[in-house]
Every structure is written in C-alpha cells, then in structure tokens.
Amino acid sequence: MSNVGFRGGSSLFDLGSSQAMAAFFELIRSHPQLLANAGCELVTDRLYRRYVRRVDVASTRQILEKVKDVFSGTSSSALLSILNQVEAMQGGLDLGADNLAKVFSRYFDAIEHCMESAEVNFQEFASDPASSYCYEPVRVVRSQMPAYMMIWMAARSGCNRRCNTWGLAVYPVAGLQLGNVEVARGRGRGAMEEPAELRLQQPVQRCWGEG
C-alpha cells in the first residue's frame, strides 16, 4: 500500500494515498463545469493513466489552470462525495480549506514543478551529442520507497547520461542532503491499495515514445 505522487524530470513529489490521488482526477472528470471540455482528457487520461508528452505540456498546463479556476469556486465539501473524512485525512487533504483549489494546491504545484523540471532537464542534456538522454515526462508514480532509491532516481534520472547530476527528490525525510541532491519533507501517508494502473512496475530508466 504505497504512497503515490508525481514525477517529472529529476523531481518527485510524495503526495499521499492513492485514494486521494484518484479523488483528484475523479473530481476533474465529473465536475459539471468541466464535462464539456474534451481537453480534460489530457489530465484525466494522459497524466493519470499514462504520461504527459512534451508536445502536450502547454495544453495540459492550460487545462490545469482551467481546473484550478473551477475548483476555486467549488466548496471543499464536494470531496466528501468521493472520500470520507478519515480517507481525506489519510491522503493529506485539508477539508477545512475554503475550496477544492486549496485542498489540492500541493497537487497543482507538484505537477507544475515536474513539468518545469522535465523541460529544464531536456534542454540541458538532450543538446549534448554524446548523450542518449530521453525526455522524462510528468506521470503518476509510486512515491513511497527507500530514500536512497529516490536519491538514486533523481541523481540518475535519464537514459545513460552523465552520472551524479543535480536532482531534487521530495520524500518524508527532512534535512537530508547528499552532495547537491536534497531530500525535503513530503506530506501524507498511504493506507489503501492503489489503482490497478499504479501497480505496474516501471523501470527507472526508460526512453519515452509517443504512445
């Protein structure tokens, strides 16, 4: 029963339980003000079930801004149609917030940070003719794992590119720093089984195509 979060580039954010993550995407998928927006599939399908292609980053960012705007006008109590109070608390979600945009503010911030990290890494390493670096897209991943593994993932995020490059791994261990890789404090603890699509073990090193 692992925690889940977002990973992109050399950044990984641990956000809490898979139930809370599923609730975030279900609220987007079922919100009356978003139902008519076909572009939401970039978030509810590509981001949640697969990954965000580099060509779709700008459109995905626009959709997320629309979602955030709609969520800012939606009471946090809407979350209770999917999760009960205990499940929300286990997922690190604050039902005392004024609206859904505040409840899921960490999610929006994490996705944006991962998109930026993915682009920065691509610009930095793909330009090297000697590098076989592949774009590292934003996607939902298991995030509850040994800290040393997350540090290794951050430091080695890429396909056989330079060793010991900078990276940021966010994990619930505060103040740990190895070289120029920092581990900051995350929030939330997972308590329930993750969706089937999150049970698949993805290799740490992978070249991402257009699928």
Residue 122 predicted with pLDDT over 80 = yes
Q: How far apart are CA 188 and CA 92, in angstroms?
A: 4
Q: pLDDT averaged over the chain? A: 75
Q: How far apart are CA 157 and CA 131, in angstroms?
A: 13
Domain residue spans of the chain: 4-198
CA 137 to chain CA centroid, Å, is 10
Residue 123 predicted with pLDDT over 50 = yes
pLDDT, tens digit (0-9, with 9 covering 90-100), for 127-161: 887 878 899 999 999 987 655 344 444 444 443 33
Q: How far apart are CA 97 and CA 137, in angstroms?
A: 30
Query: Which of 26-35, 43-52, 150-159, 198-207 has the weakest average pLDDT?
Result: 198-207
The confidence score (pLDDT) of residue 145 equals 61
pLDDT, tens digit (0-9, with 9 covering 90-100), for 157-187: 443 333 223 334 333 333 333 333 333 333 3
Predicted structure pTM score: 0.72
Q: Which of 118-122, 167-171, 174-178, 191-195 has the highest mean pLDDT?
A: 118-122
Rounded average pLDDT over 57-83: 96
CA 100 to chain CA centroid, Å, is 17
The confidence score (pLDDT) of residue 176 equals 33
Q: What is the DSSP letter of 211?
A: -
The confidence score (pLDDT) of residue 211 equals 54
Return the SS3 of 176. strand
Say if strands 139-142 and 176-178 run parallel, antiparallel, or are unpaired. unpaired
The confidence score (pLDDT) of residue 177 equals 33
Which is higher by pLDDT, 127 or 195?
A: 127
Residue 70 predicted with pLDDT over 80 = yes
Which is higher by pLDDT, 85 or 192?
A: 85
CB atoms within 10 A of CB 203: 5
Residue 94 predicted with pLDDT over 70 = yes
Residue 106, classified by CB atoms within 10 Å of its CB into exposed (0-12), middle (13-18) or buried (19+), is buried
Residue 202 predicted with pLDDT over 60 = no
Which is higher by pLDDT, 62 or 1?
A: 62
List, in sequence order, the alpha helices (H) in 52-184: 57-72, 85-90, 100-103, 105-125, 147-155
Q: How far apart are CA 56 and CA 26, in angstroms?
A: 21
The confidence score (pLDDT) of residue 110 equals 96
